[in-house]
Homo-oligomer: A and B are copies of this chain.
Amino acid sequence: MHLNNQFARLCATSILVFAFASGAAAAEPLASWNDGAAKKSIIEFVRQTTTPGSPQFVPEAERIATFDQDGTLWVEHPMYSQVMYILESVPALVKAKPELATQAPYSTVLEILKGDHAALARLSMPDLEKLAFATLTGMSVETFAAQVQKWLAAAKDPRWKKPYNELTYLPMQEVLKYLREHGYKTYIVTGGGQDFVRQYAEQTYGIPPEQVIGSAVGTTYGYNKDGKPILTKDPKLLLNDNDGGKPESIHLMIGRRPVAAFGNTSGDQQMLEYTKAGDGLRLAMLVLHDDAEREYAYGPAQDLPDTKVGAFSQALYDQAQKQGWVVVSMKNDWKRIFSFE
C-alpha cells in the first residue's frame, strides 16, 4: 500500500514535470513570426479548437489543415520548381529521341537551358502541357520517382543557389509543426503534380505521401515483359487541383472539410472559402508576397512584372478582408523567411 501510494505520488509528480517541460517548450511557438495579428490568430485558433471544453473544440480526428505548396510553403518565383523539372528533363528526352532537338517546343527548351532566358517567353501554355506530358507520363510510377529523386539531388534555385527544398518558409514550417503538435493532420493540396511533390514532401515538410494531394494524371495497370505488375502514368489529366479542383480533391481524398487552410493565390480561393464555410471556428490564411528584398513582391504588392505565377488579385485581397481571412505580410509578420538566413 505504502509503496503504491508513493508510486502514485511520484508518477503524479513526473506528470507535472512533463507537463511543465512541454509547457515550457510550447511557450515560444512560431518563433520566426513577429508578434502581431497574424501570429495571434493562429495561436488563438489552435487554443480554441484544441482545448477540451472550449465551445469551439474540434475532435482530433476532424483536425484537418490543408496547405497550398508553391508560394505558400516554398518559393514559386521565378518559376514553379516542377516547371524547372520539366524543362531540365528535356535533354534526356532529346538524347533518347534525337529528332526532337530541332522540333519546337523541345528546341526552344534547349535554347533556354543554354542561357537564352528570353526564349522562355516563346513557350505557350499548350507548349508547356506538351512538355509536361512528355516528361511526366508514359513511364512506370517507380521510374518517374527515381527520375525526380535524381533531379532533386542536383537541382538548384537560380537566385539562392540552393536545393529547392531548402527554400521553404521557416514560419510556415513552424505552423505545420505547431498544428501537428496539437493533433492536426497536415495535408498539402497543390496545383503541382501529386507524384512529383510526394517525392520530397516527407523529408521537406514531414508530410507523408498519403497526405499529399495534387494535380494528377491517371495510371494504367499492366504487366512488364517479365510479367510483373506495373502502373504506367497516362498522358491524361485526371485531377486538376487548382481553383474549385482543390475542394473537389479534398472531398475525394480526405472526405472531411478542413478546419484550417493556407494559400497565397487566386487558385486557393475556393479551398479557403470552402474551409471557412464549415461550422464553428475556421482559419483561412493567405500569404502575401510583399518582401522584394528577402523574397519577392507580387500580387497586390506588385513589384514584379505580371507573370503566370502567383496570381493574387486585388479582388482576392478584398474577399479576404470581407470574409475574415488572415492576410500574412511576409515583410511585416515574418522575422525570418528561410532557415539559412
What is the bound-complex CA distance between A208 and B255, given in angstroms? 9
What is the bound-complex CA distance between A141 and B250, given in angstroms? 12
| In the complex, chain B residues whose CB is within 8 Å of the CB of A244 | 220-222
A209 at interface (Cβ–Cβ under 8 A)? yes
Docked complex: A217-239 residues within 8 A CB-CB of B: 218-222, 228-229, 231, 238
Contact of A251 among B7, B212, B231 (CB under 8 A): B231
A61 touches B208 (CB 8 A): yes
A229 touches B61 (CB 8 A): no
What is the bound-complex CA distance between A222 and B245, given in angstroms? 11
Q: Which of A61, A212, A248 has the most CB of B within 10 A?
A: A248
Stretch touching chain B among A91-99, A158-166, A270-278 = A270-278
B231 touches A248 (CB 8 A): yes
| In the complex, chain B residues whose CB is within 8 Å of the CB of A195 | 255
Q: Which of A7, A209, A210, A270 has the most CB of B within 10 A?
A: A210
Proximity bits, A241-254, B CB within 8 Å = 1, else 0: 00111011001111
A10 at interface (Cβ–Cβ under 8 A)? yes
A220 touches B247 (CB 8 A): no
Proximity bits, A4-28, B CB within 8 Å = 1, else 0: 0011001000100000000000000
How many of these chains are in the complex? Answer: 2
A266 at interface (Cβ–Cβ under 8 A)? no
A194 at interface (Cβ–Cβ under 8 A)? yes
Proximity bits, A199-218, B CB within 8 Å = 1, else 0: 00010000011101000101
A256 at interface (Cβ–Cβ under 8 A)? yes
Q: Which of A245, A248, A255, A274 has the most CB of B within 10 A?
A: A255
B247 touches A209 (CB 8 A): no
A255 touches B218 (CB 8 A): no
A282 at interface (Cβ–Cβ under 8 A)? no
B219 touches A251 (CB 8 A): yes
What is the bound-complex CA distance between A274 and B222, given in angstroms? 10
What is the bound-complex CA distance between A222 and B273, given in angstroms? 11
A231 touches B247 (CB 8 A): yes
A331 at interface (Cβ–Cβ under 8 A)? no
What is the bound-complex CA distance between A198 and B229, given in angstroms? 29
The residue on B at minimum CB distance from A274 is B229
What is the bound-complex CA distance between A294 and B29, given in angstroms? 58
B10 touches A228 (CB 8 A): no
A251 touches B141 (CB 8 A): yes
Q: What would be 6 A-B contacts, judged by CB atoms less than 8 Å apart?
A: A6-B6, A216-B252, A218-B252, A220-B248, A229-B273, A238-B252
Q: Which residues of A contact B (CB under 8 A)?
A: 3, 6-7, 10, 14, 61, 141, 194-195, 198, 202, 208-210, 212, 216, 218-222, 228-229, 231, 238, 243-245, 247-248, 251-256, 270, 273-274, 277
A-B residue pairs, 10 tightest by C-beta = A221-B244, A209-B255, A210-B254, A229-B274, A229-B277, A198-B255, A219-B248, A7-B10, A229-B273, A221-B247
- Given contacts A141-B251, A210-B256, A238-B252, list 20 more A-B pairs with CB under 8 A: A3-B10, A7-B14, A194-B252, A198-B255, A209-B255, A210-B253, A210-B254, A218-B248, A219-B251, A220-B244, A220-B248, A221-B244, A221-B245, A221-B247, A222-B244, A228-B277, A229-B247, A229-B270, A229-B273, A253-B253
